[in-house]
Amino acid sequence: MFGLIKKLFKKKEGSVMPFVALTFPVVLGMVGLGVDASYWMAQRIDLQKAADAAVISAGWEMAQSTEIYMEDSALREAIRNGYDVSANGNLTLTELGTTTDGTIISLILAQDATTYFSRAIMSNPVRIQVEAQALVTDVDGLFCVLALEQFDTATIDTFGSVNFSMPDCGIAVNSIHDEALTISGNASVVVDNVRISGGYSIDGGSANFQYGSLKTDQSRLEDPYEDLEVPAYSGCDQTNYSTAADTVFSPGVYCGGITVTGNNNITFAPGVYIIDGGSLNISGGGSLFGEGVTFILTGSGTDYAQVDITGNKSVLLSAPLAGEEWEGITFFQDRNAPVGDNTSNKISGTSDLVINGVAYFPSQAIQFSGDASLAGAASPCTKLIARAVSFGGNPSMGNNCDPYGVREIEIPKVRLIN
């Protein structure tokens, strides 16, 4: 045997065979490593795509104030895009900080690479790790109306003969119902952006619905005043107050509501008016004026104050300016008020009617109707945030709210930054 080997080495042709036999495993291992490395690169690209999708999903949870679901949402989206938890996978989600542009979040995905040929020459697994970052921010919207109800039909609707024009303002509807927004009757509605979590319907051939853009099946917008609460107070300055004469009201606590009837001139001095139960019930002719005023409608049990402004009074009510107590809020109804139908609260009239600031009714609906000029050219700032909103008559609205420090009804935005 050894003689045969010696003869092979002595021959030029035979001396190659042992060399090939000795180096063949090394060459095969290098080729296998190259094949596996190519596959690892492809895996890394796929993992990066999964990380990008996951961080965007987590960012949307943050944008909509559901941070507790960020990691679950990110994991679900990563798996859906190819991330393999069983491959010793690890997901790390971190908030890196807040800049003037928004909040930056980072997501790192890591998992063991799949090996075929190279496992014969490598004792430890190959680890693949990628990172994706996203910027979560709010974009100021041109929305003047937000309906907070999440499931019902017609959470924003029209009735009767309507000429509703606000070309510089938008409408946002949080209901997922197929007919969350309903335009019906002899209606002409002109708006800017329309954003609906569900869908919309136009009933009646005479309805005219014009908009700058319309998007359905959208995510719900956040309530910008969700953190605001009724302030602490005690006692009553007035109880069941009623007048038919010219009157100047002073800020304070009005238990059982305020009732104004007849033709008169009514003035509300600047300040906060807490109405505990009953209604802010104003009718008749004359004028109604209040600058720097906030009406807080509260109560207990089933008796929570509401607003009912009707008649032909010339109305001008303006919220406190930016930097003042209750800046930007004209009407604030306690969120504990029982849910009511679309006529729960009314602001209507046949004379000029101007509201500067936010009318906020998170648990109830508000109806704007009549031949009023609601927050028109003389009032560039009106925001309606309510469970539901109904429009009738001839309302018009504006969106220039800088003097009042009004919180914007905003669209969340999430984008990759690396």
Q: Which of 106, 147, 188 is nearest to 359 (CA)?
A: 147
Instruction: Please tell me whether residues 46 and 23 are part of one structural domain.
Output: yes
197 and 329, same domain (yes or no): yes
Task: Give me the pLDDT at residue 35, please.
Answer: 57
Residue 418 lies in a domain: no
Looking at 109, 139, 169, the residue that finishes a domain is 139
From 111, 139, 167, the end of a domain falls on 139
Domain count, the chain: 2
Mean pLDDT of 338-354: 78
Are 108 and 225 within one domain?
A: no
pLDDT-based confidence at residue 5 (cuts at 50, 70, 90): low
Same domain, 150 and 19: no
For position 375, what pLDDT does the model report?
A: 42
Could you list the beta-strand ranges (E) of 169-220: 170-173, 181-184, 186-191, 193-196, 200-203, 208-210, 213-215
Please compute the mean of the pLDDT values over residues 352-371 and round it to a whole number: 87
Mean pLDDT, residues 226-251 taken together: 96
**Quick one: 184 and 242 in the same domain?**
yes
Q: pLDDT above 90 covers what percent of the chain?
A: 55
pLDDT over 90 (residue 200) = yes
Residues 121 and 237 in one domain: no
6 phi and psi angles, rounded to 5 deg: -60, -40
> Of 117-131, 205-219, 255-269, which has the strongest mean pLDDT?
255-269
Reading across the β-sheet that carries 102-112, which strands appear in turn? 90-99, 102-112, 127-139, 411-416
Contact 91, 74 (CB under 8 A): yes
Of 139, 163, 192, at which residue does a domain stop? 139
Q: Do 83 and 214 sit in the same domain of this protein? A: no
Confidence of residue 377 (pLDDT cuts 50, 70, 90): very low
Token code pair at residue 204: 């009646």
415 domain-assigned: no
Largest CA distance in the chain: 132
In a domain, 134, yes or no: yes
Q: What local confidence, expressed as pLDDT, does residue 142 receive?
A: 73
What's the pLDDT score for residue 172?
Answer: 95
Does residue 34 form part of some domain? yes
> Does 311 lie in the same domain as 174?
yes
Output the average pLDDT for the chain: 85
Region 316-327: mean pLDDT is 94
For 242, residues 6+ apart whose C-beta sits below 8 A from its C-beta are: 258, 259, 260, 261
Please give the residue range of the domain that contains residue 59.
2-139
Residue 416 domain flag: no
Asked if residue 363 and residue 214 are part of one domain, the reply reads: yes
Residue 219 included in any domain: yes
Q: What are phi and psi of 221, to 5 degrees?
A: -90, 145
Please check whether residue 417 lies inside any domain of the structure.
no
Same domain, 135 and 166: no
The answer on pLDDT for 1 being more than 80 is no
Q: Are residues 169 and 237 in the same domain?
A: yes
pTM: 0.73
pLDDT over 60 (residue 401):
yes
- The pLDDT assigned to 322 comes to 94
Amino acid 350: pLDDT: 67
Q: Which residues contact 63 (CB under 8 A, 6 or more apart)?
A: 136, 138, 412, 413, 414
How distant is the alpha carbon of residue 119 from its chain centre?
50
Position 299 pLDDT exceeds 50: yes
Residues 173, 88: one domain? no
Does 280 map to a domain?
A: yes
At 30, which amino acid appears? M
Q: Which of these ranges, 45-49, 136-140, 335-339, has the smallest mean pLDDT?
A: 136-140
pLDDT at residue 18 greater than cutoff 80: no
177 pLDDT exceeds 70? yes
